[in-house]
Amino acid sequence: MPRTKRTPQAAADSHPDAIFQRLRRARGPDQRALLREQLIMAHMKLVRFLAQKFANRGEPLDDLVQVGTIGLINAIDRFDTDRGIRFATYATPTILGEIKRYFRDRGWAIKVPRKLQEINLKATRAADALVQRLDRAPTVAEIAAQIGETEEETLEAMELGQHYELASLNGEVGSAEDESPSVLGDYVGQRDSETEDFGMRVRLEEAIPKLPERERSVIQLRFYAGMSQTDVAKKMGISQMHVSRLQHKAIQRLKQLVREVAE
């Protein structure tokens, strides 16, 4: 369908700068909410574009768009038109930051190197087996097919996996200027983390029933039933954005409750 060409005036009115100017002058919460909504809608294309760049990492695209949208909203609320930079340039790192944090919160900071190590290990074993079977060196495509990973990931793991070698217990940690450098071994083996995790889990399980009903449902569906935000939204008959907000609130509240129980 051909796009209707907008008049120059209409285009100028819908320019983010113009909306921000109106937002600044806006009186009353209704008008502010409306303008904020306009800014969100105007930048959803950017959020989707950025979310897509992370779409091949095993998290649903819808969830990435949702967390990206939270980043966008934070950027809208913090943007200062006097800074002289375009809003989209200002918002991009905030949106990306929120998406990266989402992966970090789900353990990806640890998982990425570990995943690369695992792929590296699997690739090495598969390569050995394939040499036997084919009587020649296998291609990366053959190794990737054998272990069920993409070619790019297999190659990256074979190359970078070596950089993430397990840290040696005798390896020095801390900066080079330290007069008495300590070794990693000094920091491990002093606490039984499983016992601590168990204590934490008991506290968490005591805290969950204290959450308001909707927040409790979100936590149970997301983390106990393992559903995506999209599926939780469908089940509860609310928007994904709402699920995301409830989840955020619930986690903040749980942190507080767990601290209170601990004290």
Partner 1 sequence: MSAGHRVELRIPSRAEFVSTARLVVSSVACRLDFGIDAIDDLKLAVGEACTNAIKHSPADSEIIIAYELHPDHLIVEVVDHGRGFDPSARPSVDIDELPQSGLGLMVIEAVMDEVCFQSSPEQGTRVRMVKRRPTK
Task: Note whether 15 binds partner 1 by CB under 8 A.
Answer: yes
Q: How many residues in the shown chain lie near partner 1 by CB under 8 A?
A: 28
Is the distance from CB of 51 to CB of 61 less than 8 angstroms? yes
Task: Note whether 7 binds partner 1 by CB under 8 A.
Answer: no
Considering beta carbons, is residue 10 or 33 the nearer one to partner 1? 10
Within 111-170, the residues that bind partner 1 by CB under 8 A are 112-113, 152, 155-156, 159-160, 163
> Residues 10, 33, 34, 109: which binds partner 1 (CB under 8 A)?
109
| Nearest alpha-carbon partner for 87 in 73, 102, 105, 70 | 73
CA-to-CA separations, 3 to 6, 8, 107, in angstroms, rounded: 9, 15, 44
The strand pairing partners of 173, in sequence order, are 182
d(CA 142, CA 130): 8
> Residues 66, 92, 146, 154: which binds partner 1 (CB under 8 A)?
92
- Kindly tell me the sign of the dihedral angle through the C-alpha atoms of 37, 38, 43, 44: positive
Q: Where are the beta strands (DSSP E) in the chain?
A: 172-173, 182-183
Within 33-62, the residues that bind partner 1 by CB under 8 A are 42-43, 45-46, 49-50, 53
Q: How far is the CB of 119 from partner 1 (least distance, A)?
A: 14
Q: Which residues bind partner 1 (CB under 8 A)?
A: 11, 14-16, 42-43, 45-46, 49-50, 53, 86, 88-90, 92-93, 96, 100, 109, 112-113, 152, 155-156, 159-160, 163
